[in-house]
Structure 1
Amino acid sequence: MTESDPFGAIREFEHDGETYKMADLTALEEEGLCELDKLPVSIRVLLESVIRNMDGENVTADDVRNAASWEPDVPDVEMPFQPSRVVLQDLTGVPAVVDLAALRSAVDRKDQDPSIVEPEIPCDLVIDHSVQVDYFGDEDAYEKNVELEYERNEERYRSIKWAQQAFDNFEVVPPGTGIVHQVNLEHLGRVVHNREEDGDQWLFPDSLVGTDSHTPMIGGIGVVGWGVGGIEAEAAMLGQPITMGLPEVVGVRLEGDLPEGATATDLVLHLTEKLREVGVVDRFVEFYGPGVENLTVADRATISNMAPEQGSTISMFPVDDKTLEYLELTGRDEDHIELVKEYLEAQGLFGEQDPEFTETVEFDLSTVEPSLAGHKKPHSRIPMGDLDDHFPNLLEEQNVVEADGAAAVEQGLDLDDKVPVTLEDGTDVEIGHGSVLVSAITSCTNTSNPSVMLAAGLLARNAVEKGLDVPDYVKTSLAPGSRVVTAYLEESGLMDYMEELGYSVVGYGCTTCIGNSGPLQDPIEDAIDEHDLWATSVLSGNRNFEARIHPKIAANYLASPPLVVAYGLAGNMDIDLEEEPLGTDDEGEPVYLEDIWPSTDEIHDMVHNSVSPEMFEEKYASVYEGDERWEALDAPTGEVYDWDDESTYIREPPFFQDFPLEEPGVEDIANARCLMTLGDTVTTDHISPAGPFGEDLPAGQWLKERGVEPYEFNTYGSRRGNHEVMMRGTFANVRIENEMLDGKQGGYAKHLPSGEETTVFEASERYRDDDTPLIVMSGEEFGTGSSRDWAAKGTDLLGIRATIAKSYERIYRDNLLGMGVLPLQFEDGEGWEELGLDGTEVFSIEGLDDGLEMNDELTVVAEDDDGETTEFNVTAQVSTPAAVKYIENGGVLHLVLRRLLTEE
């Protein structure tokens, strides 16, 4: 034992004639600090990171003791976690690149070496969020969509390509390769790292954070990883430990097997519903029990992918023989697979585990039935047979129709009425409430799973052979998560049938699930507007929040890929597919879902005969090279980015301009105004700019003033490297409702004390001119949804100093902290409505002048126009010492920059 290794945990490990270093967990058991077999696997992985990175300063022996102290009744202690790598997708990755470039520019302005800004751990950016479904239904759709993708995003891609050459520890997977989580699962994930550090070869568990909330999908192969905002990911890249409280760990004991006709997607929707009921927010989830071995690794990954929808930070499975078989199937090196097993066995991390958990949940796989989730929450499961009752009830609840099905509004349609529409090619169709206008096999949730993808192909084959077709008004698409999916669909001979029904490949990326579904035809959109139609979409993704899929589609449903095809064939969601036919065959006889649904044995045989390691080896052989379009990009070079002041895509953000080396600290917030009062479940989709926007909005007006025509606007996501556009689009979602404005939807606010109604951005600018600080008040689950860093960056740039909510989604809360915005929480049972507030008051937040402490209790005083005051207590959602430092420094990147500039 030494001063740098007080537990004697750094030991040698021999494998195949090679000697490695490792942080041996058994040393802590020998020292009496823990009983390893009682610790959840995820806690052991975190503990290994703490031991290995202990340096006596950033990570101390006390941190090791804290991490080792985990027990079901979790101690209230913090630990610093350093992941082994970071993954980014391009919508959140471009802002990260812009921030890194801005940090280098700031260092350069201080006459210091800009190369001191360099990722300290490996980072992979996968460009997957920019392709849009403009073209669909034909074999040329992919090429046409990719051409448009490059045309729209060339400047963004040049900045990413600059980063690839400017930073040593930064790799880029170019467009057209696949979805970040599937690429991560099939190729980037190592399970165990073999890495040289300071001249020594080390072995340690793979772990990561990623700038997409579905990063936990990697838990399907036993890797600890979760989603963070771009801000937190940048800090991790720059060597900052993630200081976190020890998490509670929920064990889900699986037993039984899936019944005939049930898919992994159906299982996911059941588990998501179950875990939301249990309550797993801010908790880790581990699956164990006899049912685990009945799930393929692809099934496990499908479950892990939905961790954010379940509410958990991670959802992971053990590494076992099936994991090793998956590594072999996906083309991983045989020697590495042997190393994975031997190392994890030495650490006690291989195979079935039965540790202690904070809480245990039982789930029987045999109870799963075909299901969907909707109409706007991924955890709102609906048994397939209940959909024909669900939809009329939904329309009645939304005051679209009366109880008898009659239209509830003057220009609306009755429940069963149809309106004729002539499509742009002259085809006449009829649509009404419930018509499926988008049927999309999309997202990493399912496209990583050959069983459900080949099931969709088999169902398509059977449908074609029965003479069924998809109605012309349905926009169909297939966006595989990797090129391997296309390879095995072609190998199986099923791609032809998919294409015949219109499910041709439109791109390799996250399309419909993030709102990149592309436009509907103008006649269809006109009919929706004219008759207030509640049209629907069905997709195999993981998110269905309102206005996310398409602003004109009111109800969105998640389903397995074969059910996506089935509802595409039916053309309507107001149907019971257990009892009603999908259509008729060539003889006019009804065809039911059970007539074309493939058997489990047939699906398994197709997977066995169609998927091979050679496919993965071939498709990932040149994963970082890209196609001729990527090679032809003329990107900037050099250590410091050459900013273009005329650019409307990439602009230097204002975060580090005139940067003071002194820490600003905190102080009371006095005479603040409330910009918005919001209800429950305001998502990051509502807060962060996403999707297309028009010239009547502040972002569109800014672009028009610079000569950009509306058809060139692209999407908010494509302009995430431009703070001028993004801050103007924050809180501007068409569905957001500022309750200070009596039911009006959209990004509007009331400027006070004038009482004038204007846009959120324009109101914030007027407050800024008057040096008036701002707050926002909200209800439960503030910021739920995707890990969009601009939800916090935009909040900061609008001048919002603090938010007050009943509860927060973890990633949004952490992003606010990372931007120096103070997240405050009402006391239990209180909220702005319960306190009798309406947002017109003047607010002061007291208790900060003496400094900020973890979970500080602060006082808010609200004074109305009559001079009456309401005083209430709030808790600062600042639970770690690092988070306190972020607030004191104005954000995590400000803290990092100060440290870089002041290090001797």
Structure 2
Amino acid sequence: MIKLHDEGAYLLNGNEIYIDNKESNEKLKAKLGNRFFNKEDAKKNTIAYSILKNHNKSDNDEDLNIKFDAMASHDITFVGIVQTARASGLTKFPIPYVLTNCHNSLCAVGGTINEDDHLFGLSAAKKYGGIYVPPHLAVIHQYMREMMAGCGKMILGSDSHTRYGALGTMAIGEGGGELVKQLLSKTYDISYPEVVGVYLTGKPQKGIGPQDVALSIIGQVFKSGFVKNKVMEFVGPGVGNLSVEYRNGIDVMTTETTCLSSIWRTDSKVEDYLELHGRKDAYKELNPGEIAYYDKMICVDLSEVKSMIAMPFHPSNVYTIDELNANLYDILDKVEKDAQGRISNKSIKISLKDKVRNNRLYVEQGCIAGCAGGNYENICEASNILQGNSIGNDEFTLSIYPSSQPVYYDLVKNGVAAELMPTGAILKTAFCGPCFGGGDTPANNSLSIRHTTRNFPNREGSKPNDGQLSYVALMDARSIAATAVNKGFITAATDLDTNFNIPKYYFNKTIYDNRVYDGFNKAKKDENLRFGPNIKDWPTMEELSDNLVLKVSSLIKDPVTTTDELIPSGDTSSYRSNPLKLSEFTLSRKDPEYVGRAKQIQKSEKDRISGKSPFDANNDLEKVFNTVKKDFDSVDFKNTAIGSVIYAIKPGDGSAREQAASCQKVLGGYANIAKEYATKRYRSNLINWGLVPFVIKDEPKFECNDYIFIPNIREAISEHPSEIDAYIVRDKLENFKLKVDKLTDTELKIILSGCLINYNRNNK
């Protein structure tokens, strides 16, 4: 079904693969009549290379300075981005910037504050020249597909699932700091990424949907980091066998592989899609050159993909549904043991085996929603399966969220919605809630199956530290519908004999014309921003001191720490516009004592900055400084900042949300220490908030509440040494080594300045 080639490969004429080894290379030369080919030249024949080259503003192809064609944010992120840019000297949006409202759409949560954020976004669109999409009109990525993506473009978004590769757009999800740089006409700076070919052949079986294909790939590549921070380029004859919506459904899930971005070859189907949405001029045929070289290759035979399920608590925890049903108790036992280790509240006992009824796995809820599940074709084929059936009147429920109002409109107009309603399925408006923990939270100890993007702990809205826990498994809309037909018992869509019939889709742009505010290139500088009581400015942040004394305020030894664990989603989302309130939730579901530890050591730093003794707030600090001064007599609290540090083995998997880093900074954090960072975007978030992204090779010898001293930190990271000396402060200093991986000149200056806001202010 899926085969990985780590050694790289040549692709000839878009259809023939030659794995990069001596025997295969000889065959390629013979095929070419011994024509000369060069690997470095062949690397330049990928689609990714041509798009990156066209957007690169640097003078070389290795260190890229990218400027994007457009950007997108939603109502959890755009307030903080505008506030950061405003504090940095923003005057207008220099490129189209779409502000959507699809996350904090439930305006009863938190009183007025969500709607306050929405109206702040509208006022910002007016003042700075943005595009504002009101609540319930479209989820962020569906709007960008329908109205903004185009062949050869690059789009930056403050949501990790910013992926429009199937439409010929290289899209990247990053933290808000990277969007702020674009708003200030600066660049996105990265080393040229490796490009991994995804070679598709065959055609999916009837009943197999895009989520099945995506989960199959994620299950193969995630744990090994096969595509981490790389570009996935989809090529091969199998691409032509997929509709554009099917491609979109696979593409949006590439985020869960931890790749940097994605791009697909384009064809007449993409041209038809763009023409349907009134943007035929956005089409351009994209194909790799005659001989293209890929650093790695993934071969996928679409005809062999089965109906899949990703069990709690990660999209990579995949099984075929047939495999699950055949080995039910063994798999559930393994999942329970793995999941138990992810929950910090050990008093909760995870029990999925109690979901087994008559040797079949029963679920209480199904959801088809968002940028992954809510597209037109998914809902139509789910309707085909459900037609004439009932989901029953027991515990099982089914919610369906069309991804945009135009999609919903056509489902109503052509009768698909009318076919769904009698089955017991409930149709709702465009909303991302089921994906991030803001809607359709199941009952305690319930299992939900969802065609959404993630199934991390808490993504369904439960609160394990309060004794509330439910579970999410990811499935394709078709198998969710098949499960609904069987009243909640897990069923593969391929087990049912369904005649699929998708009515032709007609896009109604008038829906957007009548409600979307398009102010690009029409900034009204005299317009006042509309604030609410929960919208707060960022607190003052200090530049990096000469030396650091850091208290280890959390030490996490899980193999991977997600951004949801660093700063929870769901109910906390209402406070994303209030840095101080939001910071109170930092690590609340992983290490509830962290906030108290961080705030206690922050008291000493605040005293130090104000000229007072830092020792009053933390008596043990005086002993720490006395021990340090035995070996570093020039050190005192005037030239040494005091703060907190988090250690985690591999932090940052998942969301692009910058608050995973900014909340640590607001609480007085100065650094992270990790074996590696799960994603580039989390590391970038740390840097943009002035947190030093340390890497450690060996197992840490420090414990939680230990103090670490790092001398001459400004000088050390400025000189880019291979290693940096650090010391655990006990009765004497115990030396160990830290490292900071390559920083761009701008990234270094941001860290030295204390954060991106300070850097921008200093460089107006």
Q: State the TM-score, normalized to the length of structure 1.
A: 0.69
In structure 2, the CA distance between the partners of 1:148 and 1:550, relative to structure 1 (3 Å rule), is closer
Q: Which secondary structure does the structure 2 equivalent of 1:119 belong to?
A: coil
Query: How far apart, in 2, do the equivalents of 1:860 and 1:571 lie?
Result: 61
Tell me, yes or no, if the aligned pair for 2:365 and 2:448 is still in contact at 8 Å: yes
2:209 to 263, 268, 271: 263
The corresponding residue for 2:683 is: 813
The corresponding residue for 1:310 is: 257
The corresponding residue for 2:13 is: none
The corresponding residue for 2:380 is: 454
Query: How far apart, in 2, do the equivalents of 1:410 and 1:443 lie?
Result: 30
Equivalences for residues 508-587 of structure 1 within 5 A: 508-518=430-440, 524-525=443-444, 533=445, 535-551=446-462, 552-570=468-486, 572=488, 575=490, 577=491
Tell me, yes or no, if the aligned pair for 1:85 and 1:207 is still in contact at 8 Å: yes
Tell me, yes or no, if the aligned pair for 1:296 and 1:322 is still in contact at 8 Å: yes
Shift of 1:639: 5.2
Query: How far apart, in 2, do the equivalents of 1:417 and 1:378 lie?
Result: 20
Query: How far apart, in 1, do the equivalents of 2:351 and 2:50 lie?
Result: 59
Shift of 1:185: 0.6
Tell me, yes or no, if structure 1 residue 220 matches structure 2 residue 220. no
Tell me, yes or no, if the aligned pair for 2:102 and 2:430 is still in contact at 8 Å: yes
Report which stretch shifted further, 391-400 or 548-557.
391-400
Tell me, yes or no, if the aligned pair for 2:212 and 2:307 is still in contact at 8 Å: yes
Deviation sequence 1:188-219 (CA, Å, 0-9, x none): 2233xxxxxxxxxxxxx421111011112x11
Query: How far apart, in 2, do the equivalents of 1:409 and 1:668 lie?
Result: 41
Tell me, yes or no, if the aligned pair for 2:196 and 2:294 is still in contact at 8 Å: yes
Shift of 1:871: 2.5
Deviation sequence 1:817-844 (CA, Å, 0-9, x none): 11111001112xx232xxx432232211
Query: How far apart, in 2, do the equivalents of 1:350 and 1:432 lie?
Result: 49
Query: How far apart, in 2, do the equivalents of 1:159 and 1:231 lie?
Result: 19
Equivalences for residues 453-472 of structure 1 within 5 A: 453-462=379-388, 464=389, 468-472=390-394
Query: How far apart, in 2, do the equivalents of 1:81 and 1:417 lie?
Result: 50
Query: How far apart, in 1, do the equivalents of 2:377 and 2:268 lie?
Result: 19
Tell me, yes or no, if the aligned pair for 2:150 and 2:167 is still in contact at 8 Å: no
Shift of 1:162: 1.6
1:370 to 300, 307, 311: 307
The corresponding residue for 1:141 is: none
1:653 to 518, 538, 551: 538
2:566 to 678, 681, 687: 687
Query: How far apart, in 2, do the equivalents of 1:413 and 1:726 lie?
Result: 32
Report which stretch shifted further, 79-88 or 498-507.
498-507
The corresponding residue for 1:425 is: none
2:581 to 718, 725, 728: 725
Deviation sequence 1:626-659 (CA, Å, 0-9, x none): 9xxxxxxxxx994564766xx1x21122247xx9
Deviation sequence 1:719-777 (CA, Å, 0-9, x none): 21111211111221x2x1x4xxxxxxxx214xxxxxxxx84564454554547321111
The corresponding residue for 2:624 is: none
Q: Which secondary structure does the structure 1 equivalent of 2:95 belong to?
A: coil
Tell me, yes or no, if structure 1 residue 444 matches structure 2 residue 371. yes
Q: Which secondary structure does the structure 1 equivalent of 2:653 belong to?
A: coil
Tell me, yes or no, if the aligned pair for 2:137 and 2:404 is still in contact at 8 Å: yes
Query: How far apart, in 2, do the equivalents of 1:761 and 1:571 lie?
Result: 48
Q: Which secondary structure does the structure 1 equivalent of 2:661 belong to?
A: helix
Deviation sequence 1:594-643 (CA, Å, 0-9, x none): 675524xx3xxx32x3312xx243433335149xxxxxxxxx99456476
The corresponding residue for 1:427 is: none
Tell me, yes or no, if the aligned pair for 2:85 and 2:184 is still in contact at 8 Å: no
**Paired letter, 1:874:** L
1:164 to 118, 125, 148: 125
**Paired letter, 2:332:** L
Q: Which secondary structure does the structure 2 equivalent of 1:654 belong to?
A: coil
Shift of 1:787: 0.5
2:547 to 628, 645, 668: 668
**CA-atom RMSD, angstroms?**
3.4
Query: How far apart, in 1, do the equivalents of 2:394 and 2:287 lie?
Result: 51
1:831 to 690, 693, 699: 699
The corresponding residue for 1:22 is: none
In structure 2, the CA distance between the partners of 1:148 and 1:826, relative to structure 1 (3 Å rule), is closer
Q: State the TM-score, normalized to the length of structure 2.
A: 0.81
Query: How far apart, in 2, do the equivalents of 1:854 and 1:864 lie?
Result: 25
Q: Which secondary structure does the structure 2 equivalent of 1:80 belong to?
A: strand
The corresponding residue for 1:211 is: 158
Query: How far apart, in 2, do the equivalents of 1:566 and 1:765 lie?
Result: 54
Query: How far apart, in 1, do the equivalents of 2:160 and 2:259 lie?
Result: 10
User: Unaligned stretches of 5+ in structure 2?
Assistant: 1-37, 341-345, 463-467, 519-523, 607-613, 615-640
**Paired letter, 1:792:** A
Deviation sequence 1:426-467 (CA, Å, 0-9, x none): xxxx9999653331111201323x3322111111214x2xxx
Tell me, yes or no, if the aligned pair for 2:123 and 2:528 is still in contact at 8 Å: no
Query: How far apart, in 2, do the equivalents of 1:856 and 1:811 lie?
Result: 23
Shift of 1:544: 0.4
Tell me, yes or no, if the aligned pair for 1:97 and 1:159 is still in contact at 8 Å: no
Shift of 1:117: 2.9
User: How many aligned positions are there?
Assistant: 675
In structure 2, the CA distance between the partners of 1:415 and 1:326, relative to structure 1 (3 Å rule), is closer
Tell me, yes or no, if the aligned pair for 1:38 and 1:354 is still in contact at 8 Å: no
Tell me, yes or no, if the aligned pair for 1:249 and 1:285 is still in contact at 8 Å: yes
**Paired letter, 2:717:** L
Query: How far apart, in 2, do the equivalents of 1:567 and 1:821 lie?
Result: 46
Query: How far apart, in 1, do the equivalents of 2:122 and 2:303 lie?
Result: 49
Shift of 1:392: 5.6
Deviation sequence 1:203-261 (CA, Å, 0-9, x none): xx421111011112x11111111001011111112111111101111111111111233
Query: How far apart, in 1, do the equivalents of 2:598 and 2:728 lie?
Result: 24
The corresponding residue for 1:494 is: 416
Tell me, yes or no, if structure 1 residue 79 matches structure 2 residue 85. no
Query: How far apart, in 2, do the equivalents of 1:412 and 1:245 lie?
Result: 43
The corresponding residue for 1:183 is: 143
Shift of 1:315: 1.7
Shift of 1:284: 0.8
2:322 to 361, 374, 385: 385
**Paired letter, 1:225:** A
In structure 2, the CA distance between the partners of 1:124 and 1:417, relative to structure 1 (3 Å rule), is closer
Tell me, yes or no, if the aligned pair for 2:166 and 2:244 is still in contact at 8 Å: yes
**Paired letter, 1:272:** I
In structure 2, the CA distance between the partners of 1:470 and 1:249, relative to structure 1 (3 Å rule), is same
**Paired letter, 1:801:** Y
Tell me, yes or no, if the aligned pair for 2:84 and 2:538 is still in contact at 8 Å: yes
Query: How far apart, in 2, do the equivalents of 1:410 and 1:822 lie?
Result: 35
**Paired letter, 1:372:** I
Deviation sequence 1:772-814 (CA, Å, 0-9, x none): 321111112x111010111111011111111100111211110
**Paired letter, 1:503:** A
1:477 to 399, 412, 416: 399
Shift of 1:514: 0.8
In structure 2, the CA distance between the partners of 1:594 and 1:46, relative to structure 1 (3 Å rule), is closer
